[in-house]
Amino acid sequence: MTLGKLIGVSLGPGDPGLMTRKAWDALSRPAHWTYPVAKSDAGSYALDIVVRAGITPPLDAVPLLFPMTHHPEVLAKSWARASSTVLERLRSGQDVIFLVEGDASTYSTFGHLARTVRELDPQVEVEVIPGVSSYCAAAARVGTPLAEADDTLAVIPAGYGVAVIDHMLDEFDSLVLLKVKPLLDEVIALLERRGLIGHACFIEKVGTPDERVVRDVARLKGETVAYLSLLLVHNPNRPRGEIRRGCRKKKTAAAN
Amino acid sequence: MTLGKLIGVSLGPGDPGLMTRKAWDALSRPAHWTYPVAKSDAGSYALDIVVRAGITPPLDAVPLLFPMTHHPEVLAKSWARASSTVLERLRSGQDVIFLVEGDASTYSTFGHLARTVRELDPQVEVEVIPGVSSYCAAAARVGTPLAEADDTLAVIPAGYGVAVIDHMLDEFDSLVLLKVKPLLDEVIALLERRGLIGHACFIEKVGTPDERVVRDVARLKGETVAYLSLLLVHNPNRPRGEIRRGCRKKKTAAAN
């Protein structure tokens, strides 16, 4: 029996132009298509990128249901269903591609899908086609570098709370706050208190027709924003320690 | 007088297949090409990606010299020369593209080039085409997610030293250490001391013909590695705080 390969195809965050040539090629070859949905009757963010690229998905493309819940039994059941659906198709000998918005290694379900499929059959070969992450596209969109030269960069789900974010602002030149929705007001208050509100930018659904860029972040107070939204924050005042540079001789550096 | 636009074209970290369709289109349109070199007689990592993609650079493509030095006068002189070269061509009315390996917002010289050109002429319009970053491609290459679900991710130049890295390992699930060359041995010793050496992976020049992946990082001790190399480190034991989830009601979460 020949097993197909499971391929995570990163599509970039929303603009079909940000698909890589490798992703495009993967979509042009014969393969079973799968893509994530949060509800059985809901659309797919990932599939939508492909459609906007002008590609017609194959008629037998299969949505895999990953409900937005933290209920362990519901989750276990949907993962079991998804992985057996994928394995069944791999066992037909054809490759299975899983469409991923953004980058498949960055806050994606693909890693977990690959693990669960390989738990069922360790022979399954997995390939990941990397993509443009949402925060790289957001930085490009607003024209502000994420990190330069000796900068440090942290990417965290905002849900860890303002105390953690406050602390991170002391240690990083650049902060990407993901999933800001549930505590946007608190984060805005923190940035105002620290005098950093002018160094923050809000981006929602970057590269899609629903994209929204808000540079005056304070005016978002009290607003309900989309799930796929993020904040880019710079701290130009971060106290920096010594840095050892690549071009220095090792011995000299060690003597410091 | 019509001014051309300055476009930072991200090419991804090395595999020409990881160029986006938008980058490819930008290279297919009429424009002046510029690209960075570290020495006047040296090759260009960025241009090399384009050549390996099968694209022939225009004969008048201009290398911009950014020497690998921290000498302020030498740097100021080369930046002044680069920005006036770019501005001269923009003033001819044609767009100028600057080729960037990886992502133009992530540890790239493009941000500084754009600033210096706009200091000379604030009318210059700048566009950034984002790309796949080296660490996203590295994670895909080794098949290990960078970040999942509630993970936190930090990207730092390793030059900040082992004390900083040691501290970051307490606060992040995933650490990307860039420019590890000058202190690789010390980082390896730290990872061994913390029992994390088995959760680290070394990747050099990802996606190029010179790519090297080393999963048994300890065996790199004493070796001189390339400048374009990085370490991906996971800390599966990070103590985690509470996280507020997007699906919870705001009021309930605030009461916690």
Q: What are the 10-residue block averages of pLDDT along chain A, 256 residues in total?
A: 94 98 97 95 94 97 92 92 97 97 97 97 98 98 96 96 96 97 96 98 97 97 93 93 60 39
Classified as helix, coil or strand, B39 is: coil
Confidence (pLDDT) at B69: 86
Burial class (CB in 10 A: 0-12, 13-18, 19+), A255: exposed
The backbone region for A42, taken as left when phi is positive above 0, alpha when psi lies in -120 to 50, beta otherwise, is: beta
- Asked whether the predicted pLDDT for residue B247 surpasses 60, the reply is no
pLDDT category, B241, cuts 50, 70, 90?
confident
Q: Is the dihedral of CA A16, A232, B125, B111 positive or negative?
A: negative
Report how many Cβ contacts below 8 Å link chain A to chain B: 219
Check CB contact under 8 Å for B250 and A164.
no
- Which residues from B are below 8 Å from A227, CB to CB? 246
The 10 Å CB-count burial string (b at 16+, else e) for B54-68 is: eeeeeeebbbbbbee
The Cα-based distances of B72 to A173, B52, B68 in angstroms read: 22, 34, 11
Q: How many CA atoms lie within 13 A of B169 on its CB side?
A: 26
| CA–CA distance, A156 with A178 (Å, rounded to integer) | 6
- Asked whether the predicted pLDDT for residue B249 surpasses 70, the reply is no
Burial class (CB in 10 A: 0-12, 13-18, 19+), A211: middle
**Residue linked to tokens 């225009």:** B58
- Which residues from A are below 8 Å from B159, CB to CB? 150, 243-246
Interface pTM, i.e. ipTM: 0.94
Percent of chain B with pLDDT over 90: 88
A71 shares contact with chain B (CB less than 8 Å): no
Q: How far apart are the first and last CA of chain A?
A: 61
CATH assignment, B6-129: 3.40.1010.10
Most B CBs within 10 A among A68, A74, A156, hence the mutation to make, goes to A156
CB A123 within 8 A of CB A6: no
Q: Which chain B residue is nearest to residue A173, measuring alpha carbons?
A: B156
- Asked whether the predicted pLDDT for residue B255 surpasses 50, the reply is no
Average pLDDT estimate for B157-184: 96
Check CB contact under 8 Å for A143 and B128.
yes
CB A103 within 8 A of CB A135: no
- Which residues from A are below 8 Å from B24, CB to CB? 21
**Residue linked to tokens 């307490």:** B170
Average pLDDT estimate for B9-31: 98
Average pLDDT estimate for B64-89: 93
Beta strands A174-178 and A229-234: pairing type?
Answer: antiparallel
**Residue in A8, A111, A241 closest to B164 by CB:** A241
Q: Which chain B residue is nearest to residue A132, measuring alpha carbons?
A: B132
| CA–CA distance, B175 with B232 (Å, rounded to integer) | 6
pLDDT digits (tens, 9 = 90+) for A170-185: 999 999 999 999 999 9
How many other CB atoms are found less than 10 A from the CB of residue B41? 6
Classified as helix, coil or strand, A38 is: coil
Average pLDDT estimate for B43-60: 96
Confidence (pLDDT) at A42: 87
How many other CB atoms are found less than 10 A from the CB of residue A26? 21
- Asked whether the predicted pLDDT for residue B128 surpasses 80, the reply is yes
Confidence (pLDDT) at A249: 38
Q: Which chain B residue is nearest to residue A245, measuring alpha carbons?
A: B159
Average pLDDT estimate for B106-110: 96
CATH assignment, A5-129: 3.40.1010.10
CB B111 within 8 A of CB A145: yes
A19 shares contact with chain B (CB less than 8 Å): yes
Q: Which chain B residue is nearest to residue A69, measuring alpha carbons?
A: B247
| CA–CA distance, B166 with B189 (Å, rounded to integer) | 11
Record the tokens describing residue A91, joined without a space.
């066992």
Confidence (pLDDT) at B68: 86
- Asked whether the predicted pLDDT for residue B253 surpasses 60, the reply is no
- Which residues from A are below 8 Å from B246, CB to CB? 159, 179, 181-182, 227
B204 shares contact with chain A (CB less than 8 Å): no
- Which residues from B are below 8 Å from A16, CB to CB? 21
For residue B70, the distance in angstroms to the closest alpha carbon of chain A comes to 9
| CATH architecture of structural domain A134-234 | 2-Layer Sandwich (3.30)
Q: Give me the residue spans of the domains in chain A.
A: 5-129, 134-234
The backbone region for A112, taken as left when phi is positive above 0, alpha when psi lies in -120 to 50, beta otherwise, is: alpha
